[in-house]
Chain A
Amino acid sequence: MNKIANDFSSENIGSIFIYTNEAHPGESYPHLTSMKQKNTHAKALRDVLGVNRPILLDALDGACHRYFGSMPNMTWIFNRSGVPVYKSDWTDANSVRNSLEYLLDVVKRRKTGVRLAPFTVERLDYRESDRVAFYQRLAENGPKAVEEFRKAFGEN
């Protein structure tokens, strides 16, 4: 997602990361109880995991996150007026890139005088699912996070 931010910034595409609740709290990164702690975790997201897009903190009760469906790692695309034009319940760079290319093409077509009317489409997209990498990431949160995930999904 960092690469997408870089690749499209020259096209006047902004990218931000909104920090939510902790999806898999563990010993190293426990559940949030204060904004100070949320700020610290968000800085770790930047410094340890390398998210270099602007990170903004949602309120501690997740007002913004909950409004948009409170999925743990979803992505939305908005136009300048604050109207959502894409939403995905999971974040996938290929899906986002595909959507941005389509949206930029819409802008180009409109500039040539083509009259376009919006409509809604649903599509099932596919993301890579690397279980080994996922568990390695989960382990960084602490053993508790790993154990709880295994229990929740019955994995050994």
Chain B
Amino acid sequence: MIYWLEMGINGCEDVEITKFFGGIINKGMMDVYNYDEFVPEKFERWMRFDISPSLGKKSENFTLWNLEEQPTSLEETLNQSLFTVVEFGSFT
């Protein structure tokens, strides 16, 4: 997990960052997704609840990381309880 602490935008490939926690990250997507100012042309594109997955169908699995920098997965987390409440958000 050395790359956890070292990986930032500086030094990344223009198109993709590989071996990023075992996955592939698109830098272009990363930059657009992490918009630097709250202006409609930058945030409105992400308000896409209308195309979110339907209820009742098994979701895709995703790698997630805890605050101790250890990887886990959404599936592994959900498997631990009868139901799991998942809130999405940030400090801001």
Report A's interface with B, CB cutoff 8 A: 1, 4-5, 8, 11-26, 29-37, 39, 41-46, 48-49, 53-87, 89, 91, 96, 100, 103, 107, 118, 120, 138, 141, 144-145, 148-149, 151-152
B13 CB within 8 Å of chain A: no
Closest to A42 in B: B67
**Considering the chains assembled together, what is the distance between the CA atoms of A84 and B69 in angstroms?**
26
List of A residues within 8 angstroms of B88 by Cβ: 17-18, 20, 65, 68, 71-76
Q: How far is the CB of B9 from chain A (nearest CB, A)?
A: 5
* A83 adjacent to B51 (CB under 8 Å): no
List of A residues within 8 angstroms of B67 by Cβ: 39, 42-43, 46, 55, 57
Q: How far is the CB of A10 from chain B (nearest CB, A)?
A: 11
Closest to A14 in B: B81
Report B's interface with A, CB cutoff 8 A: 4-9, 20-21, 23, 25-26, 29-30, 33-40, 43, 46-67, 69, 72, 74-75, 77-92
List of A residues within 8 angstroms of B20 by Cβ: 35, 59-60
Closest 4 CB pairs of A and B: A69-B52, A14-B81, A34-B8, A64-B62
Q: How far is the CB of A110 from chain B (nearest CB, A)?
A: 12
**Considering the chains assembled together, what is the distance between the CA atoms of A114 and B56 in angstroms?**
20
**Considering the chains assembled together, what is the distance between the CA atoms of A22 and B5 in angstroms?**
19
* A57 adjacent to B5 (CB under 8 Å): no
* A22 adjacent to B90 (CB under 8 Å): yes
* A18 adjacent to B53 (CB under 8 Å): no
Most buried by A among B20, B26, B34, B80: B34
Given known A-B contacts A59-B25, A85-B55, A21 and B84 have beta carbons under 8 A apart: no
Closest to B77 in A: A16
Beyond A70-B46, A87-B52, 18 additional pairs, beta carbon < 8 A: A13-B84, A16-B87, A31-B35, A41-B91, A45-B90, A54-B66, A62-B33, A66-B46, A71-B46, A72-B88, A78-B83, A78-B86, A80-B82, A82-B61, A84-B55, A89-B49, A107-B82, A120-B55
List of A residues within 8 angstroms of B62 by Cβ: 58-59, 63-64, 67
Q: How far is the CB of A125 from chain B (nearest CB, A)?
A: 14
